[in-house]
Homo-oligomer: A and B are copies of this chain.
Amino acid sequence: MSRKVTIIGAGSVGSTITYTMAVNGLASEIVMIDVNTERALGEAMDIRQGTPFCSPIQIYAGTYEDAKDSDVVVITSGMPRKAGQSRIDLAQTNVDVIREIAPEIVKHAPDAIYILVSNPVDVLTYTFCKVSGLPENRIIGSGTILDTARLRSRLAEYLSISQKSIHAYVMGEHGDSSFVPWSTARVGSVEILDDKGGFNFTGRIKAKLNPEEIEQYIRTSGGKIIERKGATFYAIAISVCHIVDCLFGSSNRVMTVSSMLHGEYGIDDVCLSIPFIFGPQGICGNVLPAMTEQELEKLQHSADVLKGVIKQVNI
């Protein structure tokens, strides 16, 4: 009946996730854990003082003991990506953070579903699968859910149409080797790139979509936001809350998140994003669109890049 979430890492991302859950009433209790306890106390206090205008919710800074009975644990601890720094560079430092955190939290919240957000998210999801001892279906990396959101909001601007009517994904690594399988992308039921006049919109600027430009926009937009404001946290927070919403719901959704692959598209023993089915039980399947030869190569390349990193770090 209660919905308890533990957030590890009360930085910009973790705090914004907590705040979002207070605003939209997603959880009934949230524990914030951070090595910087002053920060966790300050963030929890700032959020809690706004709750008279929200649905009832308990929010407090706590310890691993307080994570007891959590339904969901979100891991956002670690170092954010610096301007110019590649996501992969951060790997070892943050793998070590995960290795440190995993036994502590799993001891107190053995039945929770875990969402990994810290970067490099695919590598850390893989790490958590290996070191936590939990079944893989209860471990979800936010993966390219953010990139997919960026793709949809960008296409929505181009097409002057709501993102809800745009069905397109970013797959692979949450990083430079991600890609869009355009052959599967649709607005309503019409292929976005080869619309043969199927899309008729009074007054729309008939600008030809430039797929490369859009992919480039998505890949660089994290970096661009960091340049402009120092960090990215709003879109990722909403995306993570969307995952939590699905876990708390009663049915399964299809979204690109990062999870262990077992032969899908011929790929094995790596975590990356393809359209997975998940819901209250965690990951429970996937929906694999037929892709072009070229798209399959890009996915394979992305898997190779990630395997390369995994080999270089000490898990």
Tell me the A residues contacting B by CB distance below 8 Å. 1-3, 15-16, 19-20, 22-24, 28-29, 38-39, 41-43, 45-58, 71, 137, 146, 148-150, 152-153, 156, 160-167, 169, 181, 184-190, 196-204, 221, 224-225, 227-229, 232-239, 241-242, 245-254, 264, 275, 277, 279-280, 284-290
Contact = CB atoms under 8 A, between A and B. Distances in A.
A187 to B, nearest CB: 6
Given A52-B153, A58-B251, A200 B45 contact: no
Nearest to A45: B225
B1 A247 contact: yes
Of A15, A55, A234, A254, most buried by chain B (CB within 10 Å of CB) is A234
A50 B162 contact: no
Given A46-B233, A54-B238, A190 B285 contact: no
Copies of this protein in the complex? 4
Contact of A229 (B43, B137, B156, B199): B43
Given A2-B250, A161-B253, A250-B28, A239 B287 contact: no
A200 B252 CA distance: 13
B184 A248 contact: no
Given A42-B229, A164-B253, A167-B186, A241 B53 contact: yes
B161 A46 contact: no
Contact of A287 (B198, B254, B284): B198
B237 A161 contact: no
Nearest to A218: B49
A34 B161 CA distance: 28
A279 B57 CA distance: 12
Contacts of A41: 228
A221 B32 CA distance: 19
B234 A46 contact: yes
Given A188-B287, A199-B288, 6 more contacts: A20-B23, A28-B250, A43-B228, A161-B252, A199-B285, A200-B264
